[in-house]
Structure formats: C-alpha cells, structure tokens
Amino acid sequence: MTKLSVNVNKIATLRNARGGNVPNLLKVATDIERFGAQGITIHPRPDERHIRYQDARDLKNIVTTEYNIEGNPNPKFIDLVLEIKPTQVTLVPDAVDAITSNAGWDTIKNKGFLKEVIKTFKSAGIRTSIFVDPDSKMVKGAKNIEADRIELYTENYAYKYTANKEKAIQPFIKAALTANEIGIGINAGHDLSLENILYFKQHIPNLLEVSIGHALICESIYLGLDNVVNMYLNKLK
C-alpha cells in the first residue's frame, strides 16, 4: 500500500487567520493519525505564514507515524530539521515569495549544493527526498547526489488529468520506471486529489508515499459540511 502523509499547512493557515489556537494544529494532527493516515507533513516557510517553526518542534512530540518536513534548505531550515530529526526531509526549491511550490530541483545544476545538504541530513539519520519534475535526467541526478527518494511534482498531471489522463500520466510513468531501474524510492505530491489519485497510484510502479494537503482539506470541508450544518440545526430545534 502507498502511504498517505497529510500536509497540515492549511490547518495552520486557518488558525493564523483568526489568531488564538482554533483549530488546534496538534489536535488535528493527532486526529488525522487516528483516522488512519500514515504520516504528517509540514512545509514551514521563512515568513511562517502558516506552519510556524515552533509548530514543527511541537509536532515532534505528537506525531507517532512518519514525520516529513518539506522546505528550501536555507540555514534556518537546515538547523530546524537537524534539531527535530524527523523521519524524512523533503527538499523543495521554492522561492521565499512563492505562494506554493511550483517546480522541482535541477539536480544536475545544483549537484554540489544538494549533495552536501543531503550528506548532512543523512549523517543525522534522516531519510532524504528531493522534489523533482517528471524528468528522467532529474531522477538520475537525484540518485547521483545520494538522495534516498524523489518526490514527483504532480501539478502538471493534476492540471491535465480531466482533459486527457492517459497523456497526463505518461511523463510520470517514465520517471518512475527510471527510478525503479536505478534504485531510488518514489514519493509524489502536489494537487493530487480524490478525483485523480487512484489513476496515479495504478500507473506508478512502487509508489511509496503521497503527500496531500490542500485538496484533502478542501474535500474534508465539503464532505463534512452536511454533517456539521445538521448538527447545528439539531441543537437549535
């Protein structure tokens, strides 16, 4: 079975919008695990606009499944990850002002830098993953810098899925076959949803883990609204 790691950034966004501690990020993470998820993912950014660095520390004492921290490996991020020692660190080349991740690493151009960062994390016993586009050259580059896994950036698949899912999946199949051939693990994430996740899973050989946040939280709002509205109505009868 492919493991599901739930990204809780959007829970922190909602909390931060109002101040205080509602919803309680730690409680939500605990409940997500209790509901069956096999991992919790966070992606702290320098401006702490959703996940705060203290959240990352607090979650360390809460998460009992796999703990995955994503981010651009600037010095502050590296120090945080080495302090917490999560199960996995996923390196993402997002700019400081990026709304969300929008590209994978060029693992060839950035070979020297990434190899040193990965060596640092692996020396601390942390599994490493590199966020890459579905390009066999980038997959091979990730292997050459000794990453344990790649995370396939799936926005393009999700965007094209409705129009032509057979065509949309092809680059990802090719990248996955390359990963299998050279012996690097495969994760995936970004805009995977209830609509497109099954087809992706069925066509990507040896998919180890998916990280899903925005779609899962949005779907939970819609699928849970009927229940909550009627709970209020019952209270008001």
Q: What distance in Å separates the CA atoms of residue 71 and residue 10, rounded to the nearest whole number?
A: 16
Quick one: pLDDT band at residue 193, thresholds 50, 70, 90? very high
Q: Residue 216 is encoded by which pair of tokens?
A: 């899962």
Query: Which helix (H) or strand (E) is 3 found in, with range?
Result: strand 3-7
Catalytic (active site) residue 70 = yes
Average confidence score pLDDT of the chain: 94
CATH code of the region 3-236: 3.20.20.70
Tokens in use for 181? 């051939």
Considering the candidates 33, 50, 66, 190, report the single residue annotated as catalytic: 190
Among residues 43, 50, 151, 209, the one annotated as catalytic is 43
- The per-residue pLDDT for 225 is 76
Instruction: Please say if 50 is a catalytic residue.
Output: no
> Tokens in use for 148?
């344990």
Q: What is the pTM for the complete model shown?
A: 0.93
Active site residue 190: yes
Model confidence at 145: pLDDT above 80: yes
Beta bridge partners of 210: 4, 188
Q: Could you count the other beta carbons within 10 Å of the beta carbon of residue 43?
A: 23
Look at residue 215 in the predicted model and tell me its pLDDT.
Answer: 92
